[in-house]
């Protein structure tokens, strides 16, 4: 528990992985005096009440926004505009409205027109997550030592930006500020394109399943398994990300295809030097990520293997007797 709360009443609209993690972290850090949560479905609202990480669970977005000095919209980006329209008449003067969407340009475009004068809009993206969804998936430590990117519009109140920054820092995040456009370009390559590649490769392997069904799963530790984790991410969220960040993703996909063609050519021509040069460069990038504390240096991403059963050697390597 830290000192004085930064906000009085935090309203979270959406209580999935991100919304429920914010609630848990805000409570653990005493970041707000009270937390009110709503979600689209009665089932999720019921579950939030059972889990007990909110002081109040309400039925509508409007009821959540009433009297809150910080409103964070934690739903798929494609739905943010409609929710902003729904809550506009219920926002308290001086309140800060924010979001957590993985795309910022589209959120700024869709939500801004509904933010009344005297209310501050400061979009945000905590660059932290897992492949799990829903209120059970959240945890208070999700944002610790992860980045949260704020993309305030040029005329945003500096005081509102500072208060939101202090909130995220209290939840454990490092905070960076940039334009929505720049955010979408950077995340296009660091997050959106990797997800697209994972969705593709897992889909391709599935289509080959006639030949490989058991082997794909059996030998998945050879790299495929890490793609399957990313490819298990929420389909609604990621559909919205690609629709909302179309231009940046297409730009990055163009560059990726050029580089893939270069490697394809190197393999076809037996150009080992070109392959070695590229792989040496990328290995250094991995080391850089570990050096700045954004991943574990442990082999296998630090996964524990306590109860791993001893499986017999797979057929191609087993000695037939």
Of 114 and 125, the one with the shorter C-beta distance to ligand NAP is 125
Among 6, 11, 17, 87, interactor with ligand NAP by CB under 6 A: 17
Return d(Cα 122, Cα 175) in angstroms, integer: 13
Among 33, 40, 182, 246, interactor with ligand NAP by CB under 6 A: 40
User: Where do we find the tokens 């869709």?
Assistant: 110
Of 55 and 215, the one with the shorter C-beta distance to ligand NAP is 55
> How many other CB atoms are found less than 10 A from the CB of residue 310?
4
Among 26, 68, 96, 100, interactor with ligand NAP by CB under 6 A: 100
Q: Which stretch binds ligand NAP (CB under 6 A): 96-104, 259-267, 281-289, 297-305?
A: 96-104
Contact status: 129 vs ligand NAP (CB under 6 A): yes
State in angstroms the smallest separation of the CB of 282 from ligand NAP: 23
Contact status: 19 vs ligand NAP (CB under 6 A): yes
Among 6, 10, 11, 15, interactor with ligand NAP by CB under 6 A: 15
- Tally of residues, the chain: 321
User: Are the C-beta atoms of residues 228 and 200 closer than 8 Å to each other?
Assistant: no
Q: Which stretch binds ligand NAP (CB under 6 A): 85-93, 99-107, 249-257, 313-321?
A: 99-107
Among 23, 26, 32, 44, interactor with ligand NAP by CB under 6 A: 44
Contact status: 126 vs ligand NAP (CB under 6 A): yes
State in angstroms the smallest separation of the CB of 177 from ligand NAP: 17
DSSP conformation letters of 13-45: E--SHHHHHHHHHHHHTT-EEEEEEE-SSHHHH
Among 3, 4, 41, 273, interactor with ligand NAP by CB under 6 A: 41
Q: Report the candidate in 58, 116, 56 with the shortest Cα–Cα distance to residue 84.
A: 116
Q: Is 15 exposed, middle or buried (0-12, 13-18, 19+ CB in 10 A)?
A: buried
Return d(Cα 144, Cα 146) in angstroms, integer: 5
CA-angle at 130, arms to 53 and 252, nearest 5°: 135
Contact status: 14 vs ligand NAP (CB under 6 A): yes
Contact status: 106 vs ligand NAP (CB under 6 A): no
Contact status: 74 vs ligand NAP (CB under 6 A): yes
User: Are the C-beta atoms of residues 51 and 136 closer than 8 Å to each other?
Assistant: yes
Query: What is the rounded radius of gyration, in angstroms, for the C-alpha atoms of the chain?
Result: 22
Among 23, 57, 65, 101, interactor with ligand NAP by CB under 6 A: 101
Beta bridge partners of 88: none
**Token digits of residue 105:** 């340009």
Residues that bind ligand NAP (CB under 6 A): 14-19, 39-41, 44, 74-77, 79, 83, 100-102, 125-126, 129, 133-134, 234, 237, 241
């Amino acid at each position: 528990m830290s000192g004085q709360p930064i906000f009085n009443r935090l309203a979270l609209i959406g209580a999935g992985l991100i919304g429920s993690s914010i609630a848990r972290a805000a409570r653990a850090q005493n970041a707000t005096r009270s937390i009110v949560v709503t979600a689209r479905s009665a089932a999720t609202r019921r579950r939030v009440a059972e889990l007990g990480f909110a002081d109040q669970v309400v039925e509508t977005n409007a009821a959540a926004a009433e009297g809150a000095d910080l409103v964070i919209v934690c739903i798929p980006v494609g739905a943010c505009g409609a929710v902003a329209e729904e809550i506009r008449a219920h926002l308290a003067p001086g309140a800060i409205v924010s979001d957590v969407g993985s795309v910022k340009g589209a959120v700024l475009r869709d939500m801004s027109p509904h933010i009344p004068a005297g209310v501050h809009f400061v979009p945000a993206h905590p660059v932290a997550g897992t492949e799990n969804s829903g209120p059970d998936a959240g945890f208070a430590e999700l944002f610790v030592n992860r980045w949260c990117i704020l993309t305030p519009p040029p005329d945003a109140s500096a005081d509102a930006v500072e208060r939101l920054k202090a909130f995220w820092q209290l939840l454990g995040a490092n905070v960076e500020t940039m334009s929505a456009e720049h955010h979408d370009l950077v995340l296009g390559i660091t997050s959106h394109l990797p997800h697209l590649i994972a969705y593709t490769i897992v889909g391709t392997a599935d289509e080959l399943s006639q030949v490989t069904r058991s082997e794909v799963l059996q030998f998945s530790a050879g790299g495929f398994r890490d793609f399957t984790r990313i490819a298990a991410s929420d389909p609604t969220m990621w559909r919205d990300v690609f629709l909302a960040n179309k231009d940046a993703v297409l730009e990055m996909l163009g560059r990726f295809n050029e580089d893939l063609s270069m490697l394809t050519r190197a393999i076809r021509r037996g150009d080992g030097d070109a392959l070695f040069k590229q792989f040496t460069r990328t290995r250094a990038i991995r080391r850089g990520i570990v050096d700045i504390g954004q991943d574990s240096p442990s082999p296998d991403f630090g996964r524990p293997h306590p109860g791993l059963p001893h499986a017999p050697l797979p057929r191609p390597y087993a000695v037939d007797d």
